[in-house]
Structures are given as structure tokens and as C-alpha cells.
């Protein structure tokens, strides 16, 4: 069972929204956002993995290979929070980054998976 996230990407779905859920099995290229994990801590920053790749693809892939041992686009929902946190720390060269939430969803324009990382910087 998945925990679906609201289309507003701000909170878990309401009961009414749950009635309109698109599961990944029924809608593999347009499913509802899925909460991969949430520590319950408050996030102050958000970054999307496709933006990180667009900003510097070679850097992103190199860091993904180092920490995830796979291409940076490969099934991030199966990676641990600790490894994904290291990915962000390496990409932004900041060991104070603490990853608190990851949401997996499909890009509406092309159906490709996309991942949202919510985090804070320790001491900020």
C-alpha cells in the first residue's frame, strides 16, 4: 500500500482526494504522487532531481555513482534515506544537509519519474 501525496505536494491526501488516486499499476506514466519517506521534521528547502541533472548532469551522475552505485535516474525510491542524503550533501558540497522527505511522482509532460527532496541545513 502506498502513501499518496496531495497534488498540491504540500500534505498527504485528504479522504476526498484518495477517492481519485491513480495507482502506479493502473497509471504507470501518470500516477498520483507517492510519499517515499518522511521523518516528520520541518523542511526549509526543496529540490527536484531533474533540476539537479539539468544544472550539472555530469556532476549529478558522478555523485550518484559514488553514493548510489547506479545512474542517478535509476529507481531512487528504492534507495535509503541515508544514501539519498549523501547524494544531496555531495551535490551541494554541504555535509549539514538533512533530508527529511522524498516524494516520487510522474512528470505530467512526459510521464518520466521525478523525485522531490525536502531538506533543511543544520544550524540554519
Could you list the pLDDT tens digit for every one of the 124 residues in the chain? 455 555 555 556 666 766 677 777 777 777 778 888 999 999 999 999 999 999 999 999 999 999 888 776 667 888 899 999 999 999 999 999 999 999 988 887 888 888 999 999 999 8
The domain in which residue 67 lies consists of: 15-121
Q: Which of 63, 62, 58 is nearest to 97 (CA)?
A: 63
CA atoms of 74 and 76, how far apart (whole Å): 6
Please provide residue 102's backbone torsions phi and psi, each rounded to the nearest 5 degrees: -135, 135
pTM for the complete prediction?
0.81
Looking at the domain assignment, is residue 3 inside a domain?
no
Residue 33 exposed, middle or buried by CB count within 10 Å (0-12, 13-18, 19+): buried
Number of domains in the chain: 1
Amino acid at each position: 500500500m502506498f502513501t499518496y501525496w496531495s497534488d498540491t505536494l504540500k500534505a498527504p491526501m485528504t479522504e476526498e482526494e484518495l477517492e481519485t488516486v491513480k495507482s502506479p499499476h493502473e497509471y504507470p506514466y501518470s500516477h498520483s504522487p507517492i510519499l517515499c519517506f518522511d521523518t516528520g521534521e520541518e523542511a526549509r528547502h526543496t529540490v527536484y532531481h531533474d533540476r539537479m541533472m539539468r544544472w550539472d548532469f555530469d556532476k549529478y551522475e558522478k555523485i550518484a555513482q559514488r553514493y548510489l552505485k547506479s545512474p542517478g535516474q535509476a529507481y531512487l525510491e528504492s534507495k535509503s534515506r541515508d544514501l539519498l542524503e549523501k547524494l544531496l550533501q555531495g551535490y551541494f558540497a554541504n555535509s549539514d544537509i538533512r533530508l527529511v522527505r522524498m516524494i516520487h511522482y510522474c512528470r505530467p509532460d512526459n510521464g518520466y519519474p521525478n523525485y522531490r527532496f525536502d531538506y533543511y541545513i543544520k544550524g540554519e
